[in-house]
């Protein structure tokens, strides 16, 4: 995106945040920037087109936050969840006008395209949080993971409200750790009581249906299963119970598997061959995880 188009989007966000989408006019936006209407219409056909572009622009950035950073590879799954929440808090503090704009109006009522975009964004974030929760708390957490992701989102939203609208000063790192502590309590409580979850995969499927079938940035299930293999091997290695030489062999095989999975058109035959090598490693839970991955190929 060129600088001119980006500056128009950011001016639009400020105007929509101050006045609300319906009250703000194209004239308000061009006056904010000191440009002509013709310059704005060169990039955007209407105010509605401008709003849709705002959500696409910020939606892409929000989904990029979900990806793990290279330096996080050695962290535990729980710590990676903390790092994700920290990135989200810092992003929304930096781009507070975008959050204020969202709270000014009900954009779902505007048009079908925007509705699909927002459903997709919501599904993408929920799915990212759900997968991180399963990685952090194990397979037994899977039935409760969408409830956990929903509660996590609610906590994050409410604390951000205090920061943005009550000018409450909260340290982002402390807030991220505090929220994940509460996720610990939530997941432990749900798994301990073993009551039926309220939300299941059908809810995520409904969000995806509203988004036209695909959440932005959603990782295919089999690629996510490869990530879970890494988390399992690293947890075993970090526990002190594993043989370091065996762990290194397993990680070497996994790196080859990840390289193939990262290709635009990975070959299932090669992946299955690498999985056969991993099966020889005596790591608790590994064969079950490999079986799950094989079932997805």
Q: What whole-number distance in Å separates Cα of residue 215 and Cα of residue 121?
A: 6
Contact 82, 177 (CB under 8 A): yes
Q: Which two tokens stand for residue 45?
A: 């056909």
**pLDDT value for 220:** 54
**pLDDT value for 219:** 44
Q: pLDDT tens digits, residue range 98-135?
A: 777 766 666 545 577 777 788 788 888 888 899 899 99
Cα–Cα distance list, 194 to 181, 273, 296 (Å): 20, 38, 27
Contact 148, 128 (CB under 8 A): no
Mean pLDDT (10-residue bins), the chain, 297 residues: 84 87 89 89 85 85 81 87 93 80 61 77 86 92 93 92 81 95 97 89 67 49 68 70 69 72 66 76 76 71
Handedness of CA 123, 124, 129, 131 (dihedral sign): positive
CATH number given to 3-210: 1.10.357.10
């Amino acid at each position: 995106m060129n600088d001119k188009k980006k500056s128009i989007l950011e001016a639009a966000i400020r105007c929509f945040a101050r006045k609300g989408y319906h009250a703000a006019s194209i004239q308000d936006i061009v006056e904010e920037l000191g440009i002509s209407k013709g310059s704005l219409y060169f990039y955007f056909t209407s105010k509605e087109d401008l709003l849709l572009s705002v959500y696409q622009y910020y939606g892409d950035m929000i989904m990029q936050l979900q990806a793990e950073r290279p330096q996080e590879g050695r962290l535990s799954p729980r710590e990676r969840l903390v790092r994700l929440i920290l990135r989200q808090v810092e992003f929304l503090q930096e781009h507070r006008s975008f959050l204020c704009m969202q709270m000014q109006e009900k954009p779902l009522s505007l048009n079908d395209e925007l509705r699909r975009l927002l459903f997709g964004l919501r599904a993408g974030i929920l799915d990212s949080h759900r997968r991180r929760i399963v990685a952090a708390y194990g397979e037994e957490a899977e039935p409760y993971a969408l409830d956990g992701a929903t509660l996590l989102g609610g906590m994050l939203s409410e604390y951000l409200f205090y920061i943005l609208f009550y000018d409450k000063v909260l340290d982002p790192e402390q807030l991220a750790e505090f929220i994940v502590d509460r996720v610990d309590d939530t997941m432990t409580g749900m798994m301990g009581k073993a009551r039926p979850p309220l939300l299941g995969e059908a809810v995520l499927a409904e969000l995806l249906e509203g988004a036209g079938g695909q959440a932005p940035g959603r990782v295919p299930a089999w690629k996510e299963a490869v990530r879970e293999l890494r988390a399992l091997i690293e947890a075993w290695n970090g526990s002190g119970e594993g043989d370091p030489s065996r762990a290194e062999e397993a990680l070497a095989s996994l790196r080859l598997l990840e390289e193939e999975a990262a290709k635009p058109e990975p070959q299932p035959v090669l992946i299955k061959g690498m999985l056969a090598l991993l099966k020889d490693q005596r790591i608790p839970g590994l064969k079950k995880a490999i079986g799950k991955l094989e079932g997805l190929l």
